[in-house]
A = this chain, B = another copy of it.
Amino acid sequence: MPSNDRAVMGVLPPNLAVSLLFLLTLVSCRRQTPERPEEQLPQLTEDGSLKQPKEWETWVMVGSSTGLSYATPGAAPAAGAAPGMFHNVYLQPWAYREFIKTGVFPEGTMFVLSFYEASRKSAPAKAGFYEGDRAPGIEVHLKQAGIDKSGWAFFGFGDTTSNGTKLPGTASCYSCHATEAAHDNVFTQFYPPIRERLSTASP
């Protein structure tokens, strides 16, 4: 053992020293399950790109939608037509926990948006649509102070590995989220567990 331990052992009764060391070890053990796991934190590159988050499909899925669009459709949908692609939105578990606790999206929050074909081919389904092939790429909405005047930035990822490019602040998503999102630039009106939390009194 290193000399520090010997010093402790020399000054304190042996049993007390052992107890203290136990306590210290327990405290350090706690850190093995960090509240904000490293792999779930945003990692920006030097050029301002965002490294692609991994295993986001295991994060908390806060809301799914089909064919959701902010543009007026050009033509009325045909009877029985597919309702458009599925959009799933995922949030880091640690950010979800903090939001449920405080009602505030913490710094470093990332929403991942992924896309799936609306499929109806597989037996035994005789009506309705399920999530078919996933379209390449995801989008990420990151909360980070100073990254944009809104405190949030959008990043687009064209495939499953590359870094994401930050969309410029002039992109329409920024102004639309700023004016239309129900809470802190986030379309919480579309996310059942988030809506439910916001409808309760703040702590």
A residues sitting closer than 8 Å to B (CB atoms) are 1, 5-6, 9, 14-15, 17-19, 21-22, 25-26, 29-30, 32-33, 57-58, 60-61, 63-73, 76-81, 83-84, 86, 88, 93, 96-97, 116, 118, 122-134, 176, 180, 182, 189-193
Residues on B with C-beta less than 8 A from A127 are 67-69, 71-73, 84
Q: How far is the CA of A5 from the CA of B15 in the complex (A)?
A: 8
A120 to chain B minimum Cβ distance, whole angstroms, is 9
- Interface contact B131-A73, CB-CB below 8 Å: no
Identical copies of this chain, number: 2
Q: How far is the CA of A172 from the CA of B18 in the complex (A)?
A: 62
Q: Which one, B1, B69, B80, B131, contacts A18 given CB within 8 A?
A: B1
Given A14-B9, A79-B79, A180-B124, CB of A129 within 8 Å of CB of B68: yes
Residues on B with C-beta less than 8 A from A57 are 60, 193
Between A and B, 22 residue pairs with Cβ closer than 8 Å are: A9-B15, A21-B22, A22-B25, A29-B30, A32-B33, A57-B193, A58-B97, A64-B88, A65-B131, A66-B83, A66-B118, A67-B127, A68-B125, A68-B128, A68-B129, A69-B127, A70-B126, A71-B126, A72-B126, A78-B79, A84-B127, A124-B176
A33: nearest residue on chain B (CB-CB)?
A: B33
Residues on B with C-beta less than 8 A from A70 are 124-126
- Interface contact A180-B123, CB-CB below 8 Å: yes
Q: How far is the CA of A185 from the CA of B116 in the complex (A)?
A: 24
- Interface contact A130-B60, CB-CB below 8 Å: no
- Interface contact B86-A64, CB-CB below 8 Å: yes
Residues on B with C-beta less than 8 A from A5 are 15, 18
A114: nearest residue on chain B (CB-CB)?
A: B192
- Interface contact B1-A15, CB-CB below 8 Å: yes
Given A77-B79, A83-B128, A128-B68, CB of A190 within 8 Å of CB of B9: no
Q: How far is the CA of A69 from the CA of B127 in the complex (A)?
A: 5
